[in-house]
Amino acid sequence: MSSNFPITIFAFLLTLGLVVIVHELGHFLFCKLFGIYVKTFSIGIGPKFLRKRWGETEYVLSAIPFGGYVKMAGEGVMEEIQDTGTGTERKYPLGTEEGNAEVAGIDDHIPPHRRLNARPAWERFLVFVAGPLFNLVLSFLLYTGLVLSNGLQNIPFTTVGEVRADSPAMTAEFKAGDEILTVNGSDMDNWGEIEEALVPVEFRKSGVVSPSLVVVRRDGQTVSLEIQPLFDSEAGYWSLGLEVWNTTVGLVKRNGPAADLGLQLGDVVQSVNGSTVTSFSGIAGIINDNPETEIEIVWMRDDQLMSGIVIPELKEVQPGVMKGRIFMEPFYAYEKVGLGTAVAMGYGRTIGTIRITAGVLRDFVMRRLGLDAVGGPLRIGQAAGEMLSWSFSHLMYFVAFFSINLFLLNLLPIPVLDGGHVLFLLLEVVRGGKPVPERLQAIATQVGLIILLLFMTFVVVLDVWKVTGH
């Protein structure tokens, strides 16, 4: 058994458990807020593994950990789905007159006003969307908490490592080894400050960025250079052509090739495969292009020169693209920030993740992305385990990302999902308060469930093939 297996299982259960509990807690708390009778609060689906009744609600840990549910009185067709595999059998299917009468008989001790279907449309709407919204709030809190606890990441170096050909930096006659002292008269303490000074955030979308006067130290002399950033319309960002001189090792993934080689936080890489390196992109370029090949790395630790041979793993970095990886990050420093800054950055990262995820969903629906882009439980577990192998903070960033994925997916207008409930509710409002016929809801929900199960089965098979290679 792989030494990473326990880490992967723990990370997977923590990731899935946290997002599912928060999601179902959203539904549950809004039910309690509006006085809706909750029969069951289940983490997991299928046969009930552990159960305990407190008050009117049975709290359940079910056998299959992929999801959960809150079973409410008066929920209609969803009660049949939630009872699947729990040992509860119905004589008549829901959506029929006999089935509806059977459910009414089971629930005859529950006051009519405490049933979901008797509540106003706006209350039901909030109950349906509460789960996805709680996932959104979880992501925001995680992003904010991580910024608050870790601090603001920056690269604490101001020396130029590389000057790209045909770039504004080359036109301005920058050279590798130049130490940037000031930009437009302001002292520079880290690379983030340099980039912000050269391309201020407030001007990045305006299409107009003025030239900057940069003073550098070169061979003991100060030299003044003027650089005009260039907007790359294809890539959608301002180009400078400057790379920071940073070959210092940051975090190293546990049990990865770099860790096995003995590289540690703070080591300074001197050369890779005999080539002197002055930037982390230079290190990555050689590693990326030489998977499963012996590579010599020479580095300094304090005053001691060290070297060793590493074999980069062949890793899929995006669908269909394989590159070599040894799993180490460049060195970063962290500057503590106040609550206001953390909240603002947490909000920004939440919105950014929503945009990225929505873009991926759009590209998938429009068939710009293939099925290789879809990850099921095996690859989710694998990704969670890899994140924890880096650090607990990495795992929490992954949880925040995953929670936003669930937020968007659950709002899709597909019967069985929360978005399907909202769709039926909107149709009810359009019909002047007349609910969509129970039978029609039952058929649509069953079709949605079949499609969802087939898709999940396909994703699991694809997962097995991608993870095992068979």
Tens-digit pLDDT profile for residues 338-362: 999 999 999 999 999 999 888 877 8
What is the edge-to-edge ordering of all strands in the sheet holding 186-187?
Answer: 186-187, 179-183, 212-218, 221-227
Q: Does the pLDDT value for residue 436 go beyond 90?
A: no
Provide the token pair at 183: 């930009």
Q: Span 271-289, mean pLDDT?
A: 95
Q: How far apart are CA 470 and CA 460, in angstroms?
A: 13
pLDDT of residue 200: 85
Q: Does the pLDDT value for residue 304 go beyond 80?
A: yes
Tens-digit pLDDT profile for residues 218-246: 999 999 999 999 887 776 778 899 999 99
Weakest mean pLDDT among 32-46, 62-76, 157-171, 272-286: 62-76
Tens-digit pLDDT profile for residues 19-71: 999 999 999 999 999 999 999 999 988 888 899 999 999 999 988 777 888 99
Tens-digit pLDDT profile for residues 108-150: 688 889 999 889 999 999 999 999 999 999 999 999 999 999 9
Within 10 angstroms of residue 374's Cβ, the number of other Cβ atoms is: 17
Q: Which domains does the chain have, with CATH numbers?
A: 160-244 (2.30.42.10), 249-332 (2.30.42.10)
* 297 CB burial (10 A radius; 0-12, 13-18, 19+): buried
Q: How far apart are CA 100 and CA 438, in angstroms?
A: 9
Q: Where do we find the tokens 């002197």?
A: 276
* Contact between residue 389 and residue 313 where contact means Cβ atoms under 8 Å apart: no
More confident residue, 84 or 53: 53
Cα separation of the two ends of the chain: 18
CA-to-CA dists, residue 221 to 198, 316, 333, angstroms: 22, 46, 28
Q: Does the pLDDT value for residue 206 go beyond 70?
A: no
